[in-house]
Amino acid sequence: MKLSQFFLQLQLFFLLFVALVAFWQRHRIKKGIKELTTLDEAPLPEPPPHVSIILPVRNEEAHIDNCLASLLAQDYPNFEVLVIDDGSTDATPARLAEWRQRDPRLHVYRIEELPAGWAGKAHALHTGVTLTQGEWLLFTDADTRHAPQTLRRAVAHAIAHRLDLLTLFTDTRLPGAAARLLTAIGATLLAMLATPGEMRNPHQPTRVLAVGQYLLVRRSAYLACGGYSAPELRSTFSDDLTLAWYLKRHGCREDIVAERGLVFNDQWTTWKSAWEGMRKSNYGLVASSPLLGVVLGLALILYGLLPPVTLVHQLWPRRRQARQQPQGQRDHLSLLTRALAALALFFQIDTKRRFEREYRLPCAWSLTAPAGWVTFGLLMLDTTRLVLKGRGATWKGRTAPPQHHAVHPLAFMGQVLERLHTGRGGTRPFSCRAHYLTGLCNGETLSSSFLAAQRLSVPDRAGSRLAALARSTHAQGDAAAR
């Protein structure tokens, strides 16, 4: 009886934790939606700055015509379109040749071979930057369609707010079951990391959001930090978030807006495309820390399963168990368990509904919230399986290169550690391993001498003020020894 009581109390503890997490997620989604803004109706300067639209394509024969037609129809007065054909093997090159003859603003450059250590899209985008001269750069995807006024309004908004990066939530259609099941889950996880208001705040350098279908970047800001040629970015499959994170860490001003009717795209029409797309996006995080992938995957599965399974278990008649427990105790624990499970399930469904309302999805899809969390957990475990087997995530026939160990989703932990130190007046010295952990979360490479001194075999990442102090201290020691 004592053992059963222990497991029941443990179940109640987990249910309470799940309910609190679900409530927090609901709060973050509400906060994020409330902080969304639209593009300002600001005038363009005279003369308007030149914009280089860089469009990487690889086997996009199904989308290229609609995308180019919409880009070339922009009412912005001063722009060019550069298409980077990243080794397409379908009819894309032939379609591009026809379009190039129609409009002199369209230029095409073909990449025959991908250099080692680069991800395909990151390399294509950086190649496009080196081949253009626009004061502003627009990175977009071939599966998008743009309203004629989009570029004009986006550039005017970015200039009026003195931004270095502006990204737009697209007017996305979710035609497939996989996209309807998983997109809201991914958005909820992103909302746990950042909201639009936090992205606009320059004092929160690790809180970023980005939509790869539309990234408007000031060229001077891109070149100042190296852009996708930086070691942290060149191998990434999460090219949108990593670029926004990298620019903001270098002091750039950023914003994200949402407005219907500007940029359209269809998201993942099949299970295969959704699974590969989500796995590609998660690969960088899991490759940096497979243990984190395992823990997060199992936690998401438990998070999705526990509330509905508990409710079913509690409502299922169990007469033998009823005879073994006193009536009062049984009723009290049963009522508390049902209440927590129902509350957690309500928060999960309501959170998904708040997101899906923006995409005009039927209410019935919100009821799939638990299945969505379980599926996303299985996705994380599948991504971890690829990492542990030494295989990379695949996208459009290419395998991800080895990932740079910049664990930017955990960067806020470095700030927490610094604040714990400075909150005590800086009088309590940090251990070397605390320096290392702070840097691991924040971002620049530790010296090999420091790693050797601490018997740390993994040349991971470090970059906070404390880690910089550690590097400086050990560098001085090395110089003195010489």
Decide if pLDDT at 439 tops 80: no
Give the pLDDT score at 3. Answer: 64
For the entire predicted model, the pTM comes to 0.81
Decide if pLDDT at 364 tops 60: yes
Name residue 447's amino acid. Answer: S
- Which CATH superfamily does the domain covering 31-267 fall into? Spore Coat Polysaccharide Biosynthesis Protein SpsA; Chain A (3.90.550.10)
Query: What's the average model confidence in pLDDT over 464-474?
Result: 40
pLDDT digits (tens, 9 = 90+) for 230-269: 988 998 888 999 999 999 999 999 999 998 899 999 877 8
Give the pLDDT score at 466. Answer: 37
Give the pLDDT score at 358. Answer: 82
What angle separates helix 327-358 from helix 290-315, to the nearest 10 degrees? 120
Higher pLDDT, 462 or 32: 32
Decide if pLDDT at 116 tops 70: yes
Decide if pLDDT at 362 tops 60: yes
Query: Which of 285-299, 351-365, 453-467 has the weakest average pLDDT?
Result: 453-467
pLDDT digits (tens, 9 = 90+) for 158-178: 999 999 999 999 988 888 899
Phi, psi of 70 (to 5 degrees): -75, -35
- Domain segments of the chain: what residues? 31-267, 285-399, 408-481
Q: How confident is the model at residue 388 (pLDDT cuts 50, 70, 90)?
A: confident
